[in-house]
Structure 1
Amino acid sequence: MDDKKSWTPDSSPGPSAYEGDMAHVKRKWSRRMTDSFRRDPNASVIRSASFSAAHPHHHHYDAEAAAQATAMSPLLRRLKGRHLQMIAIGGSIGTGLFVGSGKALAYGGPASVLLAFSLTGVMMYCTVQALGELAVLFPVAGSFSAYSTRFLDPAWGFAMGWNYAMQWLVVLPLEIVAASITVDYWVGRNLNAAWVSIFLVLIVMINFFGVKGYGEAEFIFSIVKVTAVIGYIILGVLINIMGGTDDFGRPDGSYMGFRLWHHPGAFHNGFKGLCSTFVTAAFAFAGTELVGLAAAETENPRKALPTAIKQVFWRITLFYIVSLLLVGTLVAYDDPRLLNGKSSADAKASPFVISIQNAGLQVLPSVMNVVIMISVLSVGNSSIYGSSRTLAALAEQRQAPSFFAYIDRTGRPLYAIIVASVLGLLAFLAASHRQEDAFNWMVALSGLSSIFTWSSICLAHIRFRHAWLAQGHTLDELAFRSPVGVIGSWIGLIFNMLVLIAQFWTGFSPVGWQSMSSKELVINFFQAYLAAPIVVIMYLGYKLYLRTEVVKIRDMDLFTGKREFNVKVLVAEEKADRRNWPTWKKLYKFFC
């Protein structure tokens, strides 16, 4: 019988089977990790030799090649319906609602805030419906900037694409600094640089997980924001019923109602105050259009997008209108705290936080500040997504440097994400003594961007419908049709033009201009209207260089990238499916 020998490290001639398997797994994982960053083999959207040979001087824009490139983009379709719904219902709920509404309340009064947000909500509803119709039929990379190129003018598409990309590139450092300032609510010390680093790394990591990472993060962020707004509405009703004060400002449990609408009043600063609140309302709705941008990376845009777009109505009605109606009954427009915020995310200037503080509740203001911080991080997360996808689409249309079109095997526009992330380092200006000047001018770059984007969506939809009918199609062929139709798009377009006029007036002659010096008035105007001349310069420069023309109705490309639907079969299948729905689901689908 053989002697039994004890095992020693030296007695083993090589790795065990288990160790060998683990080494193989590690090598396999590292190889997969490395390979994921390589270019997608299906990506063919770099300036090819054929394109250069066909256009040696590059003074001609190939619209057909551009449309083909956005339609064949190798972005992966990994967003599910639930992701798209939460992006739609909670994506744009952020500092514009939670904090920016305080400045609007101070300038215009509660009635102006309610009126401005309601009318802007109607405009946004019309705009998103138009975008939904286009995005279901053409779920292409770049979405609305690509639609401007196809249905309006390649030069305008170039201007709108860069306008939108710059908006989000600038918003990223702004939101990271804003998130770091929210921490001051508890800490009370200037640790901005440390928090900037933490938040920047977090946002960049989320986006390096690809579109699935962005979708899951937004799903969680949106649930938190939606829950917070619903909770505030319930709390606001209770405070209104029993949160009144006596003549000395002490809580006495009396009914408030619309007491503050009578004193100090419903309106402030007259018509100019109302115009000022329109600008704030437009800022608060920025990001709503991301639903259309995400359509190119959604598993089933035909099914998910119409459902998500329906959510916009409820978000506008419930989250904006109802919550701001309650805020206007709980916080007076002359409360000095509304204008004391040192940033767009300072919870101390939030009317939501102020109303809770006025009720004498101790813990809930901190909870609201957490929600504000999450909202800011959500916007920062969306900024990398929005800018990287827009830059990639611009490169695919040969309207941006070609390296932006590099899309790896996991569907990430890698170089675009890296550039957007690097620009996030501008957030470290928070530690500079000139931080206020730097950020005011960055805000100016993005100030009117959304207005131009929404206007272009409405105009592209109007011209698409015209071409669709002129080229022999019928509306019955559309898989999703905007319920407000072309009339809704005209309403959205005209309203956006009116907001541009209002912004021009309030920029040239702001509230309280009498106490401002000439230099301050000039700086205020350019900070309010800087985006407009930049868009005009980009449009005219590109148009003169490539000699582009407005796309004629008869020449409009309505086929490239179009999803083919047998609408009659789809409708029949949906009706058959509905018959088996329980009653609760029928009610839910009717409203949502």
Structure 2
Amino acid sequence: MALIPTFGTGLFIGAGQALAAGGPASLLGSYVLVFLLSYCLTTAIAEIAAHRPALNGTMVAHSYEYGSNHLGFSLGYLRWYSLAMMVPFEITTAMVNLSLWTPEPSMAIRIAMVAVLILLFNMLPQRAFQRTETVFTGLKIITTAGLTICSLFLAIRGIPGTPIRGFRYWHEPGPMNEYLIPGGGGRFLGFLQCFLYSVISFTLTPEITVQRAERSNTEGGPSILSMARTDSGYLFALYILSAFMMTFVSPFDEPQLTNYGTGAGSSPFVVGFVRAGIPALRILVTVLIFLSSVASGRSFLYISSRTLYTLAESGHAPAMLTRCNRYQVPYVAILTSALFSLFAFLSLAESSSALFNSLMYFITTSGSISWLCSSIIYLRFRRKTEEQGFIRVHQSRIQPYGVYAGILGCTLLPIANALVLAFPPPSSEELPVQSWSQLRMRNAIPVYLGILSFLSLYFGHQVRTAILQRKLKLEDGTTSRRSWWRMFGLERDGPSTSAPVSSPPGP
């Protein structure tokens, strides 16, 4: 269960929005569809890793060989800042879980406390950090199992005087919500919006799954592809089971799920226990979800800082980022990645519910770009191995058709988002036209920023490379290629000893 430390992101809180948008049937359907899309990408990446493992990240390493220097550079930084942005996302999730929705000065203290706690966990020595990971893994398993048991009890036996009972909410208010417009079109839009909200749960799953499988791979043990399949199956079971239990305890028309239309709201589990009249259980669940957010935040900061450390080792980031303390903790890379936690303080300017959505759209857009690039790299890997007559021992039966489906899905995601945003506001007194326009703007800007960030890295690297080559050609008449960091004197002395196996000497 390698992915348990990051399990829960976008599930306990984000699934509430998805449930409110599409209803219980749409929630389960969207989770299945997003998982299938994620599984197609996971097996493709795992197939490459099974033949050429790279401890520092398969797609970042092999994108240089099967893509280009520009793609490898931009994809490496895309992966870094996407993971780093998950830290303020988890902090914001913790604030939303505590029902701290309204901006107020005291929230700054709470955000700072959570951010410092996540940072301190990452400053621990490696062995101590792994021990805390074991503790949080057990905590998340207990939380998921406890919520499942309690939800089943409420669904099967129920509590006298409460409306929760079996599939009641599948009948009242119904299995699917009519979102924005009435009729079948509204149910389709509800499913579409539910699908968009569900992507966050699996955005970073493919590469994290494969990277953990690479690090756990031992001679004589199961292959990386087999381990990736197994972990994906476990993750799918946990998500589907949790989502299914949510449909028992909370109706989709509960306004607290979306903080009355503002954005992310209460967890469906919390809503269910409030409706059941069990305040003690509500408090316990709130605390457990809060700890789950902290655990996920510390894991994402760990992975993002190691990604930045790898970029520095391979010559694509300043060498100072490789500095470690006596416990071999890369504190400079950790502190640099932790700076993204400052985005959580935007909750002081707008509702944490709205900030949750803004961060979510940015991360899912970056994840979709990463999925698209990974699909292209896999197709080039497959074509190159076939041209060389290389026999792939580890193959997935669904490939290359799974990658084709992945490319189609990644292409349709921004189109689906634009389609939902193009519709007129719903006829509701709780959400006036002006608020709906502001909501659409808040959701659209992060999408455009995610696309522009990647394009800026890609084309910016092309421009810098061209300038460097021209300058070198004018100076010594050669076209030798060196890392552009050398222009600023930031490269370490001596060659790197742990660069990705397929990374070229420099971009």
TM-score (norm. length: structure 1) = 0.67
Assess, with a 3 A threshold, how the Cα gap between structure 1 residues 561 and 398 changes in structure 2: closer, same or farther: closer
Match of 2:485 in 1: none
Assess, with a 3 A threshold, how the Cα gap between structure 1 residues 538 and 483 changes in structure 2: closer, same or farther: same
Alpha carbons 1:228, 1:371 under 8 Å: kept: yes
Match of 2:81 in 1: 166
Assess, with a 3 A threshold, how the Cα gap between structure 1 residues 216 and 463 changes in structure 2: closer, same or farther: farther
Assess, with a 3 A threshold, how the Cα gap between structure 1 residues 301 and 204 changes in structure 2: closer, same or farther: farther
Q: 1:460 aligns with which of 367, 377, 389?
A: 377
Q: CA deviation at 1:470?
A: 1.7
Alpha carbons 1:151, 1:460 under 8 Å: kept: yes
For the pair 1:150 / 2:68, whether they are aligned, the reply is no
Q: CA deviation at 1:183?
A: 5.0
Q: CA deviation at 1:97?
A: 0.8
For the pair 1:256 / 2:166, whether they are aligned, the reply is yes
Q: 1:100 aligns with which of 14, 24, 38?
A: 14
Q: 2:330 aligns with which of 413, 419, 423?
A: 413
Q: Deviations over 1:213-255 (max 9, x none)?
A: 444333322222222222322322222122277xxxx3278x5
Alpha carbons 2:18, 2:27 under 8 Å: kept: yes
Match of 1:494 in 2: 408
Alpha carbons 2:309, 2:321 under 8 Å: kept: yes
- DSSP 3-state at the match of 1:114: helix
Q: CA deviation at 1:444?
A: 4.9
Cα distance in 1 between the residues matched to 2:306 and 2:124: 14
Assess, with a 3 A threshold, how the Cα gap between structure 1 residues 354 and 301 changes in structure 2: closer, same or farther: farther
Match of 2:445 in 1: 526
Cα distance in 1 between the residues matched to 2:405 and 2:451: 21
Q: CA deviation at 1:155?
A: 1.6
Cα distance in 2 between the residues matched to 1:403 and 1:100: 37
Match of 2:202 in 1: 285
Alpha carbons 1:440, 1:527 under 8 Å: kept: no
Residue 103 of structure 1 aligns with an amino acid whose one-letter code is Q
- DSSP 3-state at the match of 2:12: helix
Alpha carbons 1:170, 1:442 under 8 Å: kept: yes
Match of 2:35 in 1: 121
Q: 1:233 aligns with which of 138, 144, 148?
A: 148
Q: Which runs of 5+ in 1 are unaligned?
A: 1-84, 549-559, 563-592
Assess, with a 3 A threshold, how the Cα gap between structure 1 residues 200 and 522 changes in structure 2: closer, same or farther: closer
Assess, with a 3 A threshold, how the Cα gap between structure 1 residues 211 and 512 changes in structure 2: closer, same or farther: farther
Q: CA deviation at 1:510?
A: 7.5
Q: Which runs of 5+ in 2 are unaligned?
A: 180-186, 468-499, 503-507
Match of 1:202 in 2: 117
Cα distance in 2 between the residues matched to 1:434 and 1:547: 42
Q: CA deviation at 1:181?
A: 5.5
Cα distance in 1 between the residues matched to 2:219 and 2:379: 21
Q: CA deviation at 1:112?
A: 0.9
Q: Deviations over 1:354-388 (max 9, x none)?
A: 12222333322222212211221122112212221
Assess, with a 3 A threshold, how the Cα gap between structure 1 residues 409 and 224 changes in structure 2: closer, same or farther: same
Moved more, 497-506 or 118-127: 497-506
For the pair 1:273 / 2:273, whether they are aligned, the reply is no
Assess, with a 3 A threshold, how the Cα gap between structure 1 residues 303 and 408 changes in structure 2: closer, same or farther: farther
TM-score (norm. length: structure 2) = 0.78
4+ long deviations beyond 6 Å:
341-345, 437-440
Cα distance in 2 between the residues matched to 1:159 and 1:195: 34
For the pair 1:451 / 2:362, whether they are aligned, the reply is no
Assess, with a 3 A threshold, how the Cα gap between structure 1 residues 475 and 213 changes in structure 2: closer, same or farther: same
Q: CA deviation at 1:205?
A: 2.4
For the pair 1:340 / 2:259, whether they are aligned, the reply is yes
Assess, with a 3 A threshold, how the Cα gap between structure 1 residues 292 and 217 changes in structure 2: closer, same or farther: farther
Moved more, 420-429 or 276-285: 420-429
Q: CA deviation at 1:505?
A: 2.4
Assess, with a 3 A threshold, how the Cα gap between structure 1 residues 252 and 499 changes in structure 2: closer, same or farther: closer
Match of 2:501 in 1: 561
- DSSP 3-state at the match of 2:279: coil
Counterparts of residues 322-471 of structure 1 (less than 5 Å): 322-340=241-259, 349-406=266-323, 411-428=328-345, 430=347, 432-433=348-349, 442-471=359-388
Residue 230 of structure 1 aligns with an amino acid whose one-letter code is A
Alpha carbons 2:361, 2:443 under 8 Å: kept: no
Alpha carbons 1:177, 1:192 under 8 Å: kept: no
Q: Deviations over 1:167-225 (max 9, x none)?
A: 2333323423443554568xxx9743443343333322222235444443333222222
- DSSP 3-state at the match of 2:119: helix
Residue 372 of structure 1 aligns with an amino acid whose one-letter code is I
Residue 299 of structure 2 aligns with an amino acid whose one-letter code is S
Residue 504 of structure 1 aligns with an amino acid whose one-letter code is A
Cα distance in 1 between the residues matched to 2:365 and 2:138: 28
- DSSP 3-state at the match of 2:278: coil
Q: CA deviation at 1:282?
A: 0.8
Cα distance in 2 between the residues matched to 1:387 and 1:119: 27
Alpha carbons 1:148, 1:156 under 8 Å: kept: yes
Alpha carbons 2:61, 2:501 under 8 Å: kept: no
Cα distance in 2 between the residues matched to 1:252 and 1:525: 38
Alpha carbons 1:158, 1:399 under 8 Å: kept: yes
- What is the percentage of aligned positions where both structures have the same residue? 26
- DSSP 3-state at the match of 1:98: coil
Cα distance in 1 between the residues matched to 2:220 and 2:291: 30
Cα distance in 1 between the residues matched to 2:313 and 2:399: 30
Match of 2:480 in 1: none
Q: CA deviation at 1:425?
A: 4.6
Q: CA deviation at 1:441?
A: 5.4
Cα distance in 1 between the residues matched to 2:17 and 2:317: 37
Alpha carbons 2:44, 2:396 under 8 Å: kept: yes
Q: CA deviation at 1:523?
A: 4.1
Match of 2:139 in 1: 224
Match of 2:482 in 1: none
Match of 2:234 in 1: 315
Assess, with a 3 A threshold, how the Cα gap between structure 1 residues 252 and 392 changes in structure 2: closer, same or farther: closer
Match of 2:48 in 1: 134
Is the radius of gyration larger for structure 1 or structure 2?
A: 1
Alpha carbons 2:92, 2:356 under 8 Å: kept: no
- DSSP 3-state at the match of 1:264: coil
